[in-house]
Amino acid sequence: MSHAKAKPAPAPIPAVDLQAQYRRLKPAIDRRIQRVLEHGRFVLGPEVAEFEEALARYAGARHCVGVSSGTDALMIAMMAERIGRGDAVFMPAYSFRATAEVPVRLGATPVFVDIEPGTLNIDAGDLERRIELVKREGRLNPRAIVAVDLFGLPAAYEALAPVAERSGLSLLADAAQSFGARLGNRQVGSLAPTTAVSFYPSKPLGGYGDGGALLTDDAERAAKFRALRQHGAGPDRIEVLAIGINGRLDTLQAAVLLAKLEAFGDELRQRQRVADAYDRHFTGRIETQSRPKGRASALAQYAILIEDRDRVKATLAADGIGSAIYYHRPLHLEPPLLRFGPGPGALPVAEATAKRNLCLPMHADLDDSQIDRVAEAVLAAVKP
């Protein structure tokens, strides 16, 4: 038997580490799940209302409605606004495909808007131009703006709200990636009239399966959301008020999320520690998504923007370092969305970002030596 003198390969560093989080939170999570198994109220059990209250309190919103996913949160929000055929829904061209999928499924037309370099969020100036264009053409009815808080960074709601107001459009926050983030001292959930959140496992506040929520200050709107998530049923669950969907948050997911919410504030601080450490390595050397002052990101992702991205990703993978590409293409260039325009070359920042982005490992359980190893591997792989 040979005794290899080579150093053992260091342990792989996954992009997201849900196992490490479970080891840390196991007693609280197990206790919560056990309680649900014992009372057996798996659909709209007591944990759902308890979680809705806790989430609303955290976000500083009056009402929270737990739903089956972030996608269904967007769906229910748009159904409540009766968005459908002939309507234009404005959104950044750079987002997860669910943002565009929902209005298309409702028969509406997504209108793609370019993003700002730096924050990578929707560009309010380009948004205004495209709203004017649609109005002038007179073919579609401008109805809604969906702001996406990309990678956890809140969009520029202070600029978007006046645009929505002036043009008579509703403003919906796709906060699937940003629960826990802040704009000034306002929490995500109180930055727009309606906010859609996702609890997909890898989001900053993630369940153990699909889940989502809607947040609003408007009691009437919250009542509509409650009806729509339950096949349109009224509070007595007898009368049908509207054509809805099966869109409820599972009791088991609410139980897991209640346990995770306890640790969430601390996890956000840990994510901030990781991002600050990456920043120290990269500032002046590698472009990253910017995080303007007064805008506290939930840091769903830490994105770098580099040339030759695919080669760097492969080099990291060979070193056991996970990374992810969000996204390979901007929405307007995805084949099923091409027909909505505006075609290749029209949204240059979104198109360039899709070629250059790479998201590095980001979670609360990364330690300093892992962060250093990732950053050094990135710096070595990126050609000066």
Ligand X SMILES: *Cc1c(COP(=O)(O)O)cnc(C)c1O
Which spans of this chain sit near ligand X (rule: CB under 6 A)?
Answer: 69-71, 95-96, 98-99, 148, 174, 176-177, 198, 200, 210, 212
Least CB distance from residue 190 to ligand X, whole Å?
A: 19
CA-based nearest residue to 363, from 274, 266, 277: 274
The Cα diameter of the chain in Å comes to 79
Contact, 131 vs 90, CB < 8 A?
yes
Least CB distance from residue 161 to ligand X, whole Å?
A: 19
Spatial neighbors of 301 by CB under 8 A, at least 6 apart, are 151, 152, 177, 289, 324, 326, 359, 362
CA-based nearest residue to 324, from 344, 300, 348: 300
Token pair for residue 4? 């290899």
When the beta carbons of 122 and 176 are compared against ligand X, the nearer one is: 176
Least CB distance from residue 143 to ligand X, whole Å?
A: 19
Adjacency order of strands within the sheet including 170-174: 63-67, 212-216, 194-198, 170-174, 141-148, 87-92, 109-113
Alpha-carbon distance of 90 to 109, in angstroms, equals 9
When the beta carbons of 39 and 105 are compared against ligand X, the nearer one is: 105
Query: Which residue shows structure tokens 């006046």?
Result: 162
Contact, 51 vs 254, CB < 8 A?
yes
When the beta carbons of 106 and 277 are compared against ligand X, the nearer one is: 106
Least CB distance from residue 14 to ligand X, whole Å?
A: 18
Query: Which residue shows structure tokens 């200050």?
Result: 217
Least CB distance from residue 69 to ligand X, whole Å?
A: 3
Contact, 72 vs 176, CB < 8 A?
no
Q: Residue 295, Cα to own-chain centre: how many angstroms?
A: 16
**Nearest-CB residue to ligand X?**
70
Contact, 120 vs 303, CB < 8 A?
yes
Dump strand ranges (E) for the chain. 63-67, 87-92, 109-113, 141-148, 170-174, 182-183, 186-187, 194-198, 212-216, 287-288, 295-296, 302-305, 357-360
